[in-house]
């Protein structure tokens, strides 16, 4: 390792942490930020929403497909989408980073910068973390949020007669992954969507305010995640394929790659859009794509969908 | 892998998670437990204390030295000690687990069981988590706590004239590590202390109530952690060696291994005892070991301590 690209081991744990925390800007909800045994975050609602997700290099991201800033932003988006899907507003993230001591300090700085930028953009502070040595780069993020007096919107409240609606992009990340997997770096729009999902955070609390009965973020794929809602709510969900948005961009990419764009929309994961059920009218920005009925399972146009059922971490 | 010892890949992510969450008992503070996008935890104080620590196999624990239950318990103790050191009562933990798909499902069940047992014993719920594939076993835990109206006790409040006091075992984990490193499995007391630290959680809030001006958990080593207090508080701390407890057990183990037991007490990490500064009388169970003065740095009997300055993650 040359002197002008110092590694984490060169800079040392505390040196790296100092570099990371020096530039952090904290929102008012951060009552005590990084540097002590623990952080203190406002939870004025009297409850706190919390979710943890772990990203592993070469499983959830590749540093030859994404730069460190992308990786940091994605790690935050994955987590804050879970908070939004409960109807909460993000307040804070805590970051556990494990990496080889040989990791360039600039790579960690890039990841940390992406984490800070994405958290700040969502109104959340980076309030704490831990940095340890490991053979592989692993990023574990815990996101906290505030319900602001709203009842949490679980997966279990969908009722027969509700409509199913979505907001945010769906299928774009899968299109980007397929593009990168084939060795291409464009179209930029789909590749960027895979590198850094942009969940519609504000739509989560807005849906809760509008009476959403169930909500989930689309992380495993639309049908898989609606399957989680159907199972938790003990209802059946039917998606109408002609109600789904099939952007021309996805059609074009699919044509170029010999793929089925509708499969990306129905089963592609990692877009972190929001899907919810509503007893009546849906809020602005949401698209009705199906209905809830008595029964179980998820169908498309009344039939089981043939094809992959969503993203799998194993095998 | 034989059929009677199924791996994580055999059981599948959701199967493993089901096994883990099925037996969980939640305290009243868990308003919504695992299984949804995020958990909801009571934060009746209106603030939440949060801390993250990451443990990596063969860096922070070895499965030939500790069984999976030990590892789970240690991962929780490391985190909840940080919460206690702020003066807060633990309420919840979230668990990020990365492991090779070939990991025996029983190992994960053991770790998860240890996590659940240690959390429950401290009054906290295991409210959520994530399980992903990785080349190495990594455990990231985020602990949450409630201040119950107390002001958080930071590292920055020590003032000249305060006394320095500790509660909990110090040096025992280092003695256990030295014992295991030499290939021994006994004395059981020190080995057990290394495998599963037992932080004095309740002493944290009690110290806050008693007017502690600064507090830290002894994770890096007594001198190193008092150094953090001295730096954050811009004061000098002097430790009197004759005030430190030097248990006969540590003296005996050190004699057998040719080691210096006082060095374990002064620099050994991972006991997760608590050290605090008080303006006057200390609560029951705390031992006064030194004083705070104008200046900077940490001394022992008025002199800099020769020797390792504490636990280092990087070579």
Chain B touched by A38 (CB under 8 Å): yes
Q: Considering CB atoms only, which of A48, A142, A147 is closest to B52?
A: A142
Q: Nearest CA to CA, how far is B58 from chain A (Å)? A: 9
- What is the rounded (10 degree) CA torsion for B91, B108, A230, A244? 100
Cβ–Cβ contact A46 with B under 8 A:
yes
Q: What is the pLDDT of residues A189-232, one digit of tens each?
A: 999 999 999 999 999 999 999 999 999 999 999 999 999 999 99
| Contact by Cβ (8 Å): A39, A144 | no
Give A270→chain B minimum CA distance, Å: 14
Q: A94 and A127 in contact (C-beta within 8 Å)?
A: yes
Tell me the percentage of chain A whose pLDDT exceeds 70: 96
A252 is in an annotated binding site: no
A37 shares contact with chain B (CB less than 8 Å): yes
Which region, left, alpha or beta, applies to residue A160 given φ > 0 means left and ψ of -120 to 50 means alpha?
beta
* Domain spans, chain B: 8-146, 163-300
A88-147 pLDDT, tens digit per residue, is 999 999 999 999 999 999 999 999 999 999 999 999 999 998 999 999 899 999 999 999
- B147, A40: Cβ pair inside 8 Å? yes
The reply to whether A138 touches chain B by the CB within 8 Å rule is yes
Q: Is A269 annotated as a binding residue?
A: no
Residue of A17, A82, A96, A140 to mutate when probing chain B, most B C-beta within 10 A: A140
B106 touches chain A (CB under 8 A): no
Q: Cα A157–A159–A161 angle (5° rounding)? A: 150
User: Which residues of A fall within a CB distance of 8 Å from B232?
Assistant: 35-36
Residues of B in contact with A269 (CB under 8 A): none
What pLDDT is attached to residue A307?
67
A8-146 CATH choice from 3.30.160.110, 3.30.1330.10, 1.50.10.10, 3.40.50.1390: 3.30.1330.10
| CA R_g for chain B | 20
User: Does the pLDDT value for residue B173 go beyond 90?
Assistant: yes
B231 interfaces chain A, CB cutoff of 8 Å: no
Q: DSSP state, A284?
A: T
Q: What is the pLDDT of residue A18?
A: 73
B129 labeled part of a ligand binding site: yes
**Residue A210: CB atoms within 10 Å:** 18
Pick among B20, B36, B102 to test the A interface (most A CBs inside 10 A): B36
Q: What are phi and psi of B61, to 5 degrees?
A: -155, 160
A315: confidence class by pLDDT, cuts 50, 70, 90: very low
Chain A residues within 8 A of B144 when measuring between CB atoms: 48, 50
Residue A98 near chain B (CB below 8 Å) = yes
Per the prediction, chain B carries an average pLDDT of: 93
Give the number of beta-carbon pairs within 8 Å between A and B.
235
Between residues 160 and 219 of chain B, which touch chain A (CB distance below 8 Å)?
A: 215-217
Predicted local confidence at residue B314, as pLDDT = 41
Q: Summarize the confidence of residues B151-174 as an average pLDDT.
A: 98
State residue A314's pLDDT score. Answer: 40
pLDDT above 60 (res B311): no
CA distance A255 to B304: 71
Could B36 and A156 be called an inter-chain contact, meaning their C-beta atoms sit closer than 8 Å? yes
Q: Does A36 touch chain B (CB under 8 A)?
A: yes
Report helix, strand or coil for B54: strand
Question: Could you tell me the pLDDT band of residue A4, with boundaries at 50, 70 and 90?
Answer: low
- Judged against a pLDDT cut of 70, whether residue B93 lies above it is answered with yes
Q: Which helix (H) or strand (E) holds A116?
A: helix A105-121
Listed residue (B82, B89, B92) closest to B126, CA to CA: B92
Q: B274 touching A, CB under 8 A?
A: no
The arrangement of secondary structure in B163-300, i.e. its CATH architecture, is Alpha-Beta Complex (3.90)
């Amino acid at each position: 390792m040359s002197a002008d690209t110092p590694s984490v081991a060169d800079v040392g744990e505390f040196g790296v942490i100092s570099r990371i925390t020096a530039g952090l800007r904290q929102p008012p909800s951060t009552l005590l930020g990084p540097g002590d045994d623990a952080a203190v975050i406002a939870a004025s609602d009297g409850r706190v929403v919390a979710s943890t997700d772990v990203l592993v290099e070469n499983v959830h991201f590749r540093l030859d497909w994404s730069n460190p800033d992308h990786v940091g932003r994605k790690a935050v988006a994955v987590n804050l989408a879970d908070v939004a899907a409960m109807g909460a507003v993000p307040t804070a993230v805590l970051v556990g980073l494990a990496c080889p001591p040989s990791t360039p300090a600039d790579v960690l700085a890039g990841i940390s910068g992406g984490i800070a930028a994405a958290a700040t953009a969502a109104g959340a502070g980076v309030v704490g973390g831990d940095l340890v040595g490991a053979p592989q780069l692993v990023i574990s993020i815990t996101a906290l949020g505030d319900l602001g007096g709203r009842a949490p919107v679980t997966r279990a409240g969908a009722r027969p007669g509700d409509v199913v609606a979505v907001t945010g992009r769906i299928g774009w990340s899968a299109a980007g992954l397929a593009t990168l997997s084939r060795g291409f770096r464009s179209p930029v729009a789909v590749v960027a969507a895979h590198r850094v999902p942009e969940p519609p955070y504000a739509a989560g609390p807005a849906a809760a305010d509008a009476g959403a009965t169930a909500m989930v973020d689309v992380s495993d794929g639309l049908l898989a995640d609606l399957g989680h809602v159907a199972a938790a709510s003990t209802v059946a969900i039917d998606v109408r394929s002609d109600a789904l948005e099939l952007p021309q961009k996805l059609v074009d990419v699919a044509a170029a790659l010999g793929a089925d764009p509708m499969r990306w929309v129905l089963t592609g994961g990692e877009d972190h859009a929001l899907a919810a059920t509503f007893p009546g009218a849906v809020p602005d920005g949401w698209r009705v794509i199906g209905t809830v009925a008595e029964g179980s399972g998820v169908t498309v146009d009344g039939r089981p969908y043939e094809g992959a059922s969503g993203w799998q971490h194993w095998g």
